[in-house]
Amino acid sequence: MFERVDHIGIAVEELDDAVERYRDSFEMELLHREVLADDGVEAALMGSGGARVELLAPLEADTPVGRFLARRGPGIHHVAYAVTDIDATLAELAAREVELIDVVARPGLRDSRVAFVHPRASGGVLSELVQAAPA
């Protein structure tokens, strides 16, 4: 069902500082940066070798990532899995009665399509499904 781990999402309070820290401390390259207004975040995708980390900073306090930071502070927000066909994956998960946050995929970074699986369905970990944009 999942091809691989696509990235780890990390909630941060200030995106510029986090990008600098990951670049300088871990030699990760900034691959992409984008505001996702519908999700209330600005995201930066960092990479090194095959590893990718998505840094997420809330645009406002009353957004999912803003509320996450208020409750838990900075740290791991989600694990994202690459899928080939997100619609088929969502249908299969729904048929298995897996609790979904998104029953329909929505736009993600770099024109990808994403959907989230509720943490109750995966041992307390928010899981994201990611279908890359067509090449």
Alpha-carbon distance of 93 to 111, in angstroms, equals: 23
Residues 6+ apart with CB under 8 A from 3: 81, 82, 83, 84
How many residues are recorded in the chain?
135
CATH T-level topology, domain 83-135: 2,3-Dihydroxybiphenyl 1,2-Dioxygenase; domain 1 (3.10.180)
Domain ranges of the chain: 7-77, 83-135
Token pair recorded at residue 41: 């975040």
Tally helices (H) and strands (E) across the chain. Answer: 3, 8
pLDDT over threshold 90, residue 44: yes
Please tell me the predicted confidence (pLDDT) of residue 60: 96
pLDDT over threshold 90, residue 47: yes
pLDDT over threshold 90, residue 95: yes
pLDDT over threshold 90, residue 104: yes
pLDDT in tens, 108-121: 999 999 999 999 99
* Structural domain 7-77, CATH architecture: Roll (3.10)
Helix (H) or strand (E) holding 29: strand 29-36
From the centroid of its chain, how far is CA 13? 16
pTM: predicted TM-score of the whole model, two decimal places: 0.94
Evaluate whether 7-77 and 83-135 have a shared fold: yes
The residue with tokens 């279908």 is 131
Please tell me the predicted confidence (pLDDT) of residue 135: 81
pLDDT in tens, 59-91: 999 999 999 999 999 999 999 999 999 999 999
Work out the average pLDDT over 38-67: 96
